[in-house]
Amino acid sequence: MDHKATAARNVLAQILADETAEPKALPLSLLEGITKNFSDELEIGRGGFAVVYKGELDDKEVAVKRLSKAYMHETEFDREIECLMRAKHKNVVRFLGYCDDRQRNMERYDEKLIMADVNQRLFCFEYIPKGSLDKYISTTI
Ligand SMILES: Nc1ncnc2c1ncn2[C@@H]1O[C@H](COP(=O)(O)OP(=O)(O)OP(=O)(O)O)[C@@H](O)[C@H]1O
Q: Are 121 and 100 in contact (CB under 8 A)?
A: yes
Counting residues of the chain whose pLDDT is more than 90, the rounded percentage is: 65
Interval between CA 48 and ligand 1 midpoint (Å): 9
CB under 8 Å to 1, separation ≥6 — which residues?
9, 33
137 assigned to some structural domain: no
Question: What CATH number does residue 84 fall under?
Answer: 3.30.200.20
Ligand 1 contacts CB of residue 92 (under 6 A): no
For the stretch 92-128, pLDDT in tens is 999 999 999 999 999 898 889 999 888 899 999 999 9
Whether 140 is in a domain gets the answer no
Does residue 127 lie in a domain region? yes
Hey, whose CA ends up nearest to atom 11 of ligand 1?
Answer: 45
The answer to whether residue 119 sits within a structural domain is yes
* 104-135: b (≥16 Cβ within 10 Å) or e: eeeeeeeeeeeeeeeebbbbbbebeeeeeeee
- pLDDT exceeds cutoff 60 at 141: no
pLDDT of residue 139: 67
Average pLDDT, the chain: 90
> Tell me, what's the pLDDT at 135?
73
Report which of residues 132 and 26 the model is more confident about. 26
Assigned domain for 116 exists: yes
- Does the Cβ of 131 fall within 6 Å of ligand 1? yes
- Residue 1 pLDDT: 65
pLDDT of residue 133: 75
Domain that holds residue 34: 3-131
Residue nearest atom 13 of ligand 1, based on CA coordinates: 45
Determine which helix (DSSP H) or strand (DSSP E) holds 3, and give its type and residue range: helix 3-17
In a domain, 102, yes or no: yes
Structural domains counted in the chain: 1
Is 36 a known ligand-binding residue? no
User: What is the maximum alpha-carbon separation in the chain?
Assistant: 61
Phi, psi of 44 (to 5 degrees): -115, -10
Q: How many CA atoms lie within 13 A of 46 on its CB side?
A: 4
Nearest CA to ligand 1 atom 4: 128
pLDDT above 80 for 70:
no
ipTM reported for the complex, 2 dp: 0.94
